[in-house]
Structure 1
Amino acid sequence: MKRRLHDLGLGIRFALSGGREGWVRTLLTAVGVGLGVALLLGAASVPHLVDERADRIHDRQPFSADSGKNSGSLKASLLYASADTEYRDDTIGGKVLRPANADPVLPPGLTSIPAPGTMAVSPALRELLDSPGGELLRRRLPYEITQTIGDAGLVEPSELYYYAGSATLSGDSGASSAAGFGNIGDERPLDPMLVVLVILICVVLLMPVAIFIATAVRFGSEQRDRRLAALRLVGADARTTRWISGGEALAGAVLGLAAGTLLFLGGAEVLGPLKLWSFGFFPGDLRPVPWLALLVAVAVPALAVAVTLAALRSVVIEPLGVARGGRTRRRRLWWRLALPGVGVVLLFLSQNPGVRGAPLPLVPTGVAITLLDNLTPALIATGATLVLAGLITLLPWLVEAVVGRLHGGSPSWQLAVRRLQFNSGTAARAVSGITVAVAGSVALQMYAVGIHDDFNRVTGADASRAQYTVSADFPDAKLAQRMIESFRETPGVHQVIGSVSSYVTLPGAIASGDIRPTTQLTVGDCATLAELARIDSCKDGDTFVVHPSDDAEQAAWVDRTARPGKPVNTASDSPGVPEALWTLPASARTVTARPDPTGKEQHGIFATPGAIDISLLGSTAGTSAMLTVDQRVPDAAEHIRNTAAKLSPQLRVNTVRTIERDQQYAGIQTGLRAASLATLGLIAASMLVSQLEQLRERRRLLAALVAFGTRRATLACSVLWQTAVPVALGIGLAVAGGLALGALMLRIIGKTITDWWLFLPLAGAGAAVILAVTLLSLPALWRQMRSDGLRTE
């Protein structure tokens, strides 16, 4: 062991003091490893980043005096109401605050509660309000800015958030009381199908990084291995030379660790304040999990040495030169097929009840199923990793088998084929990263398309009848009327459907154990009610009993409460609350509900304002409106939100959507896009560095060919062919492997394949990356063809 450590140390000395050539090789390795390490550290920081974001969100959530968190030790000292809004494509969070005593609790990031007419804003919101594009938003938030919210009160640096002070906020206007901040609500567990998706994303995005690091430590390997022949000449045995070469790779890997750490820290500072796909973070929140960071620090140098020792097993280093696999035995296929085969078996074993809801065909019930259910994430991750790793091992065999049968053609083609026949392993290593990336992307896309319908709900909304809804969780007859009048005067609004709704119950005693009959009471003008029910004629003072369109049982339930000529209780049904009776006129007509513009049916009792005093409605009442707008009017949505803010900051404005996307699914897709961009950039950078390194190693050969009269265009085409052939084989293998893996992943959750052709854009993107890398390497190729490349030491 001591001897091997000495050999590694000698290799490190050679790497750091080997002259210009040695420094260049070490620098190339450090750059390559550094890029991979930076991405690995970023991946290792994701758990901490997610926890920090969740903590920041929870820390500013208020809790009430009677919540379990408070346990009666605090009293309500603050009234608050949500005042979120949207501005163009940005979401703006906010709350309206009013102290309930002289010492109110403070939200995180504030030094005091804003006085009435003032507000505290985040730095990003202040910047938006001060910009020329924030004119309409300034009208919506006409408060004086007196504070800036600190980092402790924000989820990310670019978050748009504010706290406004109020002197009129009360429980009657929809406010809630808070005894403190730091409420942790019940979080919805991640759907099992999304768990599988997250596992697959991690495998697909991290495998190319590991491949790139393994490739980077072999940069300059051909020249480095030839230098080892000199060591044999002075008496070093073959094993010693291999360990010395491992030491050189170790030096580059350690420098790469340092460079990657610096790149990670610098990248966090640069990327944190930016907002990509509505996602940002504080640089301090992006910290690797300690044990994962330690794993990276240990695994990368170990991988560098292991890859070097394994690669040199096929290299014969003698005192007079190096024989690199001088037509060694053909690559064996059986063990390369064994890797994906084992992966497929593991994926089949992962088909347990926790994922599919179906029994395991291979395992009896009992302890075995429970064990497999707990191991499902590990089985899926290991199985997917082995399938993708199998593609990496199959690629060199495939390239060797195909190029060995290629003959003839143009000079550029022959040069390329001969080079590939001489050493196909280098070419296969260069495209292994893009092969895994394309295969994984195909599998991911197949899986995402297969579960798409489960996380995208068709609402049934009719966006041609209304495009926006406005609602408030408190009853206010004057507000309802002002809403209708104000929105009708708002630029771009064509029609307003406004109403106030509450629940009413059957008065009197009911039998023990029975459920008290309850239905909804909706108050609105005739135009509004006509949008909610099939009403032939209507005038102010009319009332209606509205039945669901296709639910006889629910219609009978409505009739138990809505009895023409009989009273209903409009007050809360809570114990101790006195009844507030209103008699449904005997003239009430029975009609059928029609879907409103949001796709929902409202049934129960419909009344016009002349038939009921709206102040009778209980505390469960809410005020709402649906708006039809003229999309040709610029910023019509912003005018609507401005009108709503003037009426009441607590009014919520929502867009009528025909499809609603699950937020967990949308969040995972956002993370996937960001991670895919980083991985694709790493792959492109790795291929460019690898291409430049290969050209640098062949500069004497290229210069000699030019000196003998070979056209530069011929050499450029040969380089293109040398890249194109392995890429074509790699992408073909990636498509086949990706489709197979995607089909297996869908089988795990009991889904079927809906689109076999989605690989086309992904394969095209992979080919485009290769083409771009080749074009970027042409200037370096031209430099390597110069006559000074013939010089040697």
Structure 2
Amino acid sequence: MIDFGLRLTLRGGREAAVRLVVTAAAVALGVGLLLVTLAGINGVNTQNARYAWLNSGVPEAMAAGAEASPDPLWGTLSADVHDGARITRVDVAATGPRSPVPPGIPRLPGPGQYYASPAFGALLRSAPAAELGDRYPGSQIGTIGAQALPAPDSLIIIVGHSADELSRAPGAARIAGIATKTPGECAQCQVGINANGMTLVLSVTSAALLFPVLIFIGTATRLAAARREQRFAAMRLVGATPRQVSVVSAVESTVAALAGTAVGFGLFFLLRVPLAAVPFTGERFYPSDLSLGPVEVLLVAIGVPLAAAVAARIALRRVRISPLGVSRRVTPRAPRAYRLIPLVAGIGELTYFVGRRPDTTNGQTLAYLTGILLMMAGLIIAGPWLTMVGARAMARRSNRAATLIAARRLSDDPKAGFRAISGLVLALFVTSTAIGVMTTFVAERGVSSDSTVARTTLVADFSQGWADVPGVPKASIASIPDSALVRLRSIEGVRSVTEVHTNPLGTTFSLGGPRPVVAGLVSCRQFAGLSGIGRCADGAEVASIPPSFVSGLRVNPSWSTATWPAAAISAERLQSLPVQEIVVGTDGSKSTIEQVRTALTVAFPGQEPPVTAAEGHASSDTERLFDAYRQLVNVVILVSLFIAGCSLAVSVVASLNDRKRPFSLLRLTGTHLGMMRRIVALESAAPLLVNAVVAMAAGFLAAQLFLESQLDYSLRAPGAEYYITVFAGLAVSLGVIVSTLPLLNRITGPETARNE
């Protein structure tokens, strides 16, 4: 029977060949996406492991049982910025011949020496010294190897010092060994990727993608389903056993699954290099990072064909019951309202965790992933019932023949009507949920980085932590040397230099946080040179301003017209107060900004790098991770809509092929081709529109429950991008339906009406 099944599969004519190709393509797409997800999780963990050595200043980041070096290493870890790119700077100093050596370099650099990553070395050679190189005096003695670089374009520099010099630097730590743990393994570790969080996102992403793919596979396997059932039933009537029929069907499905699995593996390895360039963790991957383990390869290579064979056996359950069951075309039992239970259960599960968010990452993964998957499954299960309700409502409110016929068929068999558009329903749910979360996140945490002041104003923050008085920053700079001020003002493109002093008066501002913050004090003479952040009150010499440049670097658009109150302190006394930040207004050119940054870095080594408000927003770890999530969301939306469109096209064509004889009989009785086209269009468009509304509402509800539980935010209305995406998706779907209608003319000729 296996040979017979292979002959039917490979030599069964054009219909069998089309079914084989479409099913194999659907399986290949599913396998490729599954492999990309598995490789992506492995890539995140591999990349994260190369961050570990940067946590060497944290004692608990050492591997258990690691032997401490007798000659501890002095080291500091700091950040720098160039043209918006994040630079990691590691300053080291050996205390003896056996001081630990970071990975990627053969020995520690001495005073006046440094190692640079390949990308950073190229940047140092290409950028003018006044814009970057002057921050790192000395000579490059080598290149940091790949084993110490999280990504091919990582910007990392290891700078050498003497032990006496570095031991007095702010934040210097004695390091007895190189760390091997990352944030997921070490509570105190700060450098690296939240691998658990990324695994959660990738898991949700894979589920969101695999659901439409599974629907596509199921739709593809149903091509010419009615004809195949009749042929298998005929085999039963001439003596074939149920087992033999099952073997024949399983051979067909297994061949398609094997071919699709092989193509899926080929697609993965073909696309691995371009996929590695997608920075969904904030940085690119090495292609070797996106690897697959032998267990994963075996599970996919064996599991997918096995699942396809099981699916084929389930699909032919009517033939196994009785060969005559296929010919007994009776109206299926109407779906009941209990199909709403999984959808309601998913909503209830997410609602339960509002105010009860699990403390652990695994607990959050289980909570949110379970709720989202329940809602996705609930939409598929409830879809036929919703389709039936919509069809009955359509029949009651219309007296046109095409509408009544379409509504009657949808009401009699809502499962078939919903099956065609189920992939699009899931795509709309995923789109609504993702855009709802992202829109709210941007509204709550976004910075107006498009404003002029955000792009052109640099801020050097000299505060180190917080004093004992709540909201009062400690200043580490007693005063700014005149030479530094002269150097800043001499740079072409610098328009103003404003010193923000600490405030002994206790004046506070509320910035929406849990407590008010103490204002900074500025000279109105200096402050007048800054534009876009308000002005001093009339007649004031010293004004109080919010220290928002320091805490979060958030620029409020209302500041452009604000009038800041006068402070009860003289300009002379102001100059004797410590400085907590310098605000430099520029013309916004890259050269000017980088020269200012270099001048401040050289004048005040060991301080946080000066950044613009736009850079401070974009370079934070939270925002980098958010950008990565946003890229994944865009991938999910585009791929889901594409897969759903393919599924819809295949489903409509399959439905037409299965009903070409009834349509031919309708034409023979005088029914116009235009009416039949309207019937087919309504059968697909009506359930699509009904279920689309439910899917979008469910998506927004899921987003609201997640945001309220995880972040304590309320859903914000999406912008025009969402409506354009939905409109485009529905328009393309309707276009797919319309594009299949010319097939009616070819398959409804008089010769099709004959009995086989």
What is the aligned partner in structure 2 of residue 525 from structure 1?
none
What is the aligned partner in structure 2 of residue 598 from structure 1?
549
Residue 111 (structure 1) shift: 3.4
Residue 391 (structure 1) shift: 1.1
1:442 to 432, 443, 448: 432
Aligned 1:385-534 pairs, distance under 5 A: 385-403=373-391, 405-406=394-395, 425-444=415-434, 446=436, 467-470=457-460, 480-497=481-498, 528=499, 531-532=500-501
What is the aligned partner in structure 2 of residue 769 from structure 1?
729
What is the aligned partner in structure 2 of residue 653 from structure 1?
610
What is the aligned partner in structure 2 of residue 642 from structure 1?
598
Go from structure 1 to structure 2 and tell me whether the alpha carbon gap of 1:704 and 1:160 turns closer, same or farther (over 3 Å shift).
farther
Residue 56 (structure 1) shift: 1.0
Aligned AA for 2:376?
L
Go from structure 1 to structure 2 and tell me whether the alpha carbon gap of 1:465 and 1:729 turns closer, same or farther (over 3 Å shift).
closer
Go from structure 1 to structure 2 and tell me whether the alpha carbon gap of 1:645 and 1:786 turns closer, same or farther (over 3 Å shift).
farther
2:647 to 687, 690, 702: 690
Residue 336 (structure 1) shift: 0.8
SS at match of 1:27: helix
SS at match of 2:274: helix
Aligned AA for 1:484?
L
Deviations 1:504-563 (A, max 9, x none): xxxxxxxxxxxxxxxxxxxxxxxx4xx4367xxxxxxxxxxx242369xxxxxx9xxxxx
Deviations 1:687-736 (A, max 9, x none): 3433453566547959989x999999999887765553332122112023
Q: TM-score, normalised by structure 2?
A: 0.70
Aligned AA for 2:258?
V
Go from structure 1 to structure 2 and tell me whether the alpha carbon gap of 1:133 and 1:374 turns closer, same or farther (over 3 Å shift).
closer
What is the aligned partner in structure 2 of residue 162 from structure 1?
157
Aligned AA for 2:612?
T
Equivalent-residue separation in structure 1 for 2:157 and 2:477 (angstroms): 26
Deviations 1:672-696 (A, max 9, x none): 3333333334323323433453566
What is the aligned partner in structure 2 of residue 248 from structure 1?
252
Equivalent-residue separation in structure 1 for 2:684 and 2:591 (angstroms): 51
Equivalent-residue separation in structure 1 for 2:120 and 2:113 (angstroms): 14
Does residue 346 of structure 2 align to residue 338 of structure 1? Answer: no
What is the aligned partner in structure 2 of residue 727 from structure 1?
688
Aligned AA for 2:595?
H
Go from structure 1 to structure 2 and tell me whether the alpha carbon gap of 1:227 and 1:415 turns closer, same or farther (over 3 Å shift).
same
Kept in 2, the 8 Å contact 1:467–1:627? The answer is yes
Equivalent-residue separation in structure 1 for 2:141 and 2:743 (angstroms): 61
Equivalent-residue separation in structure 1 for 2:121 and 2:695 (angstroms): 49
What is the aligned partner in structure 2 of residue 586 from structure 1?
none
Equivalent-residue separation in structure 1 for 2:154 and 2:205 (angstroms): 27
Equivalent-residue separation in structure 1 for 2:60 and 2:189 (angstroms): 20
Residue 229 (structure 1) shift: 4.4
Aligned 1:486-635 pairs, distance under 5 A: 486-497=487-498, 528=499, 531-532=500-501, 546-549=504-507, 595-596=546-547, 598=549, 625-633=581-589, 635=591
Deviations 1:476-523 (A, max 9, x none): 8898444322222223323334xxxxxxxxxxxxxxxxxxxxxxxxxx
Aligned AA for 2:378?
G
Go from structure 1 to structure 2 and tell me whether the alpha carbon gap of 1:343 and 1:235 turns closer, same or farther (over 3 Å shift).
same
Kept in 1, the 8 Å contact 2:354–2:705? The answer is no
Equivalent-residue separation in structure 2 for 1:644 and 1:304 (angstroms): 64
Aligned AA for 1:153?
A
Equivalent-residue separation in structure 1 for 2:58 and 2:367 (angstroms): 44
Equivalent-residue separation in structure 2 for 1:650 and 1:432 (angstroms): 58
Go from structure 1 to structure 2 and tell me whether the alpha carbon gap of 1:548 and 1:753 turns closer, same or farther (over 3 Å shift).
closer
Q: TM-score, normalised by structure 1?
A: 0.67
Residue 58 (structure 1) shift: 0.8
**In percent, how many aligned pairs have the same letter?**
23
Kept in 1, the 8 Å contact 2:34–2:206? The answer is no
Go from structure 1 to structure 2 and tell me whether the alpha carbon gap of 1:763 and 1:35 turns closer, same or farther (over 3 Å shift).
farther
Q: Where do 5+ consecutive residues of structure 2 fail to align?
A: 465-474, 510-517, 519-541, 553-566
What is the aligned partner in structure 2 of residue 266 from structure 1?
270
What is the aligned partner in structure 1 of residue 372 from structure 2?
384
Give the paired residue count. 678
Residue 25 (structure 1) shift: 1.7
Equivalent-residue separation in structure 2 for 1:661 and 1:226 (angstroms): 62
Residue 152 (structure 1) shift: 0.7
Equivalent-residue separation in structure 2 for 1:716 and 1:132 (angstroms): 65
Kept in 2, the 8 Å contact 1:118–1:145? The answer is yes
Equivalent-residue separation in structure 1 for 2:621 and 2:603 (angstroms): 33
Deviations 1:443-484 (A, max 9, x none): 4555666788887799xxx96999323357897889844432
Residue 392 (structure 1) shift: 0.7
Kept in 2, the 8 Å contact 1:249–1:305? The answer is yes
Deviations 1:29-68 (A, max 9, x none): 1211221222223333454333323211113443489997
Structure 1 window deviating more from structure 2 (131-140 vs 222-231): it is: 131-140
Q: CA RMSD in A?
A: 5.7
Does residue 146 of structure 2 align to residue 151 of structure 1? Answer: yes
Equivalent-residue separation in structure 2 for 1:743 and 1:476 (angstroms): 45
Residue 435 (structure 1) shift: 1.3
Go from structure 1 to structure 2 and tell me whether the alpha carbon gap of 1:494 and 1:284 turns closer, same or farther (over 3 Å shift).
same
1:737 to 676, 679, 698: 698
Go from structure 1 to structure 2 and tell me whether the alpha carbon gap of 1:710 and 1:277 turns closer, same or farther (over 3 Å shift).
farther
Kept in 1, the 8 Å contact 2:30–2:213? The answer is yes
Does residue 70 of structure 2 align to residue 53 of structure 1? Answer: no
Equivalent-residue separation in structure 1 for 2:133 and 2:204 (angstroms): 45
Kept in 2, the 8 Å contact 1:64–1:180? The answer is no
Equivalent-residue separation in structure 2 for 1:496 and 1:67 (angstroms): 42
Equivalent-residue separation in structure 2 for 1:785 and 1:130 (angstroms): 68
Equivalent-residue separation in structure 1 for 2:144 and 2:390 (angstroms): 63
Kept in 2, the 8 Å contact 1:47–1:289? The answer is no
Go from structure 1 to structure 2 and tell me whether the alpha carbon gap of 1:788 and 1:350 turns closer, same or farther (over 3 Å shift).
closer
Go from structure 1 to structure 2 and tell me whether the alpha carbon gap of 1:330 and 1:717 turns closer, same or farther (over 3 Å shift).
same
SS at match of 1:156: coil
Go from structure 1 to structure 2 and tell me whether the alpha carbon gap of 1:763 and 1:655 turns closer, same or farther (over 3 Å shift).
closer
Kept in 2, the 8 Å contact 1:388–1:737? The answer is no
What is the aligned partner in structure 1 of residue 68 from structure 2?
73
Equivalent-residue separation in structure 1 for 2:551 and 2:128 (angstroms): 36
Deviations 1:199-230 (A, max 9, x none): 86675455444444444444554554454345
Kept in 1, the 8 Å contact 2:456–2:588? The answer is no
Residue 419 (structure 1) shift: 8.0
Does residue 637 of structure 2 align to residue 680 of structure 1? Answer: yes
Go from structure 1 to structure 2 and tell me whether the alpha carbon gap of 1:533 and 1:681 turns closer, same or farther (over 3 Å shift).
closer
Equivalent-residue separation in structure 2 for 1:772 and 1:132 (angstroms): 47
Equivalent-residue separation in structure 2 for 1:143 and 1:426 (angstroms): 73
Kept in 1, the 8 Å contact 2:28–2:260? The answer is yes
What is the aligned partner in structure 1 of residue 472 from structure 2?
none
Equivalent-residue separation in structure 2 for 1:760 and 1:610 (angstroms): 50
Go from structure 1 to structure 2 and tell me whether the alpha carbon gap of 1:341 and 1:722 turns closer, same or farther (over 3 Å shift).
closer
Structure 1 window deviating more from structure 2 (375-384 vs 30-39): it is: 375-384
Residue 125 (structure 1) shift: 3.7
Aligned AA for 2:501?
L
Equivalent-residue separation in structure 2 for 1:227 and 1:134 (angstroms): 79
- Which structure: larger Rg? 1
SS at match of 1:43: helix
Structure 1 window deviating more from structure 2 (638-647 vs 190-199): it is: 190-199
Kept in 2, the 8 Å contact 1:33–1:217? The answer is no
Kept in 2, the 8 Å contact 1:129–1:135? The answer is no
Aligned AA for 2:635?
A
Deviations 1:254-273 (A, max 9, x none): 33233223323333222113
SS at match of 2:101: coil
2:284 to 280, 284, 293: 280
Go from structure 1 to structure 2 and tell me whether the alpha carbon gap of 1:234 and 1:155 turns closer, same or farther (over 3 Å shift).
same
Structure 1 window deviating more from structure 2 (346-355 vs 766-775): it is: 346-355
Aligned AA for 2:725?
A
SS at match of 1:84: strand
Does residue 167 of structure 2 align to residue 171 of structure 1? Answer: yes
What is the aligned partner in structure 2 of residue 538 from structure 1?
none
Equivalent-residue separation in structure 2 for 1:280 and 1:212 (angstroms): 31
